[in-house]
Copies of this chain bind each other. A is one copy, B any other.
Amino acid sequence: MVPLLKDMNNSNDAEWHFFKRAPSKAPFYELEDVVKDLSFALEDLERHGQKLPLLVLMDNGSTEEDILALMKVKIYDIEVVVVDHHYPGVVEDGKVAVDEYVDIHVNPYLVGGDSNITAGALAVELAGMINPEVKDRLLHLPGIAAVGDHARSDEAEKYIQIAAEKGYDADDLEKVASSIDFEAFYLRFMNGRGIIDTILGLGNREKHQKLVDALYKELHKRVEWQLKAAMPNLKTQKLENGIIFSVLDVEKYAHKFTFPAPGKTCGYVHDQMVQKYGEEVPIITLAYGPDFGVIRATDAVNESFGFNLNTIISKLMVEIPEAGVDGGGHECAGSLKFVEGLSKEVLQGFAREVLSLEK
């Protein structure tokens, strides 16, 4: 799209004026994000006489949590395209709740697919439709997204295959995906266009290799550093139902305000347990802080025990209404929020649910 912007506006600066990439932190379109987007859009309109922008939400925007922000955008008659692969709620007549506030909604769930078609794949396919000339240059990106999102499907495999043909083997893809995460941690809300392009392999290939190698080495060092503090303080027990349940106080036994943050730390700790016991074993890992928990579980817990994080959260909301329980995510990976004063009750409630799981 950016090359088209250049052509159509006959100006080198157009791609900067007319294209803004704004990273978001939350897994949905937050109020913090929408006020920024609206402020800039309205100032560009009033001050520079620009048209209101086309808002494209990538890997975000399909769920009920997005509705308030989208509603605000639509009050100003801004056109909205959502390209997402998160579960958008019940589909009726090809429509979901958020569709009232979205002009174009691209989501595999709307047509019988699922989250294994990543937002990265959707983005590249769309880019190819808009401007076929760029597609070839982007064809390794869906492979990165597939690896980064742990997508498991024939399509995902094919994309990984295509990336391999472009010179990125599975190991490279994993390194690039991790490096993006690592760099995004420091970029926060900066768009970091030049750097992200290098990491994704969209610029100079030699620089790409050097940068990814440097980043990956460093992130590996930091993960090791975090695990060195976390692992000796992880409490693991094999429950009567056969589940291996590990608990970590991530506020006390991990470095704070640094990479990896609590969510990723939980993931890395969980990976250690999976490496130790095997991927087929039912393993649940909970990393908690004063007012939150992060949960990772192997597919085995979901398949054999019917474990679903979202169901447990719904139960806890009812059982301990004064704890302000909130959160969610996928069946086997997500987070839990609660008020600090009720943390014991909530965490014990969660453990009780895990204990009561049956094959």
Q: Spell out A's residues near B (CB within 8 Å).
A: 12-13, 16, 31-32, 35-36, 38-39, 41-43, 45-47, 49, 68, 71-72, 75-76, 183, 186-187, 190-195, 198, 207, 210-211, 214, 218, 225-226, 228-229, 231-233, 249, 251-256, 291, 321-324, 337, 339-342
Contacts and interface: CB of A to CB of B under 8 A. Distances in A.
Closest 8 CB pairs of A and B: A42-B194, A252-B341, A229-B324, A232-B322, A252-B340, A253-B341, A35-B186, A31-B186
Contacts of A231: 322
B229 A322 contact: yes
Contacts of A218: 68
A229 B35 contact: no
Given A43-B193, A194-B46, A211-B72, A340 B251 contact: yes
A45 B89 CA distance: 44
- Most B C-beta atoms less than 10 A away, residue of A71, A191, A194, A225: A194
* Chain A interface SS verdict (over half): helix
Contacts of A191: 39
A339 B255 contact: yes
Contact of A35 (B75, B192, B253): B192
Nearest to A207: B75
A253 B210 contact: no
A35 B72 contact: no
Nearest to A192: B39
B228 A322 contact: yes
Contacts of A198: 75
Contacts of A35: 183, 186-187, 190, 192, 195
B42 A195 contact: yes
Contacts of A322: 228-229, 231-233, 253
A13 B43 CA distance: 11
A214 B70 CA distance: 11
